[in-house]
Amino acid sequence: MQGAGNDFILVETGDMNTAWAAASRAMCDRHYGIGADGLLLLMPSDIADLKMRIFNADGSESEMCGNGLRCMVRYYLDKGNVAGKTRKIRVETAAGIREAEFNETSEIKVSMGTPAFGENDIPVKAGECKVDIKQLLVCNINVAGNAFRLNMVSMGNPHAIYFTDNPVMDFPLSDIGPEITGSELFPEGINFEVARVLDGKTIEARAWERGVGETLACGSGACAAAVAAILHDYVENKVNVHLPGGILKTDWDGSDEVYLSGPAKTVFTGEWKGLRRKR
């Protein structure tokens, strides 16, 4: 499945004994596997309509993935699991319960939770960052002789947003991204977005995700960039985030949950043989 070019392999399963981290590494390999940014597991839930687990291409498990969440909801709907006038479903994630809304269009709107900004929410090396604009935690880092001012936002997973005045396609993301995501400043890694404000309703961005690398879109990253821009008074509450893979729509009132909308669709289905059990 793909959402704005952010692509995933989705497996519907209740199996807790498969070595899913190893499966993700094998399946997501773009040369020797199927090829994807991550592996989504749709699993039964005792507290919601379904449960989502997300493994990155390197086998690490992530707390949240906005595009993955929308893809999973699209799959769930296409399977005919929702009947009647129901227009909302609830999804259990590692970051908490998330609610999804849908209508007759191809877009899926999901709640991404309330953004968080403290050092307890975003693992950073103690004493290296400080609170600056409103409640934003800001980290200054030098990479390849250049200084970057990073705005820290957690959307259930941690993000560092760098605002630039130049086109984001000109930014050397393949050089800078790995240095920031792997910096000792962030002991658990970080998702990095470079963003440019185009006007009060539009941002362009690119994302380098921990455990994946550059992706065509990042849902939680789009939300994080919009939240940081709103706190800086760069943009209004409803923002279209233009990413290499497409446009994602964000909506945040400045205090409560962030909402993310955009396309999600199935590309193809198939079988994978040789899943290994946990030892």
Cα–Cα distance measured from residue 35 to residue 262, given in angstroms and rounded to the nearest whole number? 22
- Between residues 126 and 57, which one has the greater pLDDT? 57
The pLDDT tens digits of the residues spanning 142-199 come to: 998 899 999 999 999 999 999 999 999 999 999 999 999 999 999 999 999 999 999 9
Q: Please determine, for residue 263, whether its predicted confidence score (pLDDT) is greater than 80.
A: yes
Where exactly are the structural domains of the chain?
2-111, 129-256
Q: Mean pLDDT, the chain, as a whole number?
A: 93
Q: Give percent above pLDDT 70 in the chain.
A: 97
The pLDDT tens digits of the residues spanning 57-113 come to: 999 999 999 999 999 999 998 888 776 566 789 999 999 999 998 866 667 899 999
Annotated catalytic residues are 65, 218
* SS3 of residue 85 by DSSP: coil
In degrees, rounded to 5, the angle at the alpha carbon of residue 199 between the alpha carbons of residues 193 and 202 is 50
Task: Name the CATH topology of 129-256.
Answer: Diaminopimelate Epimerase; Chain A, domain 1 (3.10.310)
* SS3 of residue 14 by DSSP: coil
Cα–Cα distance measured from residue 14 to residue 142, given in angstroms and rounded to the nearest whole number? 45
pLDDT tier at 266 (50, 70, 90 boundaries)? very high
Query: Which helix or strand (DSSP H or E) is residue 75 part of?
Result: helix 66-78
Contacts of 117 (CB under 8 A, 6+ apart): 131, 135, 136, 137, 152, 153, 154
- In terms of pTM, does the model score above 0.95? no
Q: Please determine, for residue 268, whether its predicted confidence score (pLDDT) is greater than 70.
A: yes
Looking at the DSSP bridge assignments, the partners of residue 101 are 88, 109
Identify the pLDDT of residue 17.
86
Identify the pLDDT of residue 104.
65
Least confident window among 23-37, 131-145, 176-190: 131-145
Domains 2-111 and 129-256 share a fold: yes
The tokens describing 231, both together, are 């706190």
Task: Name the CATH topology of 2-111.
Answer: Diaminopimelate Epimerase; Chain A, domain 1 (3.10.310)
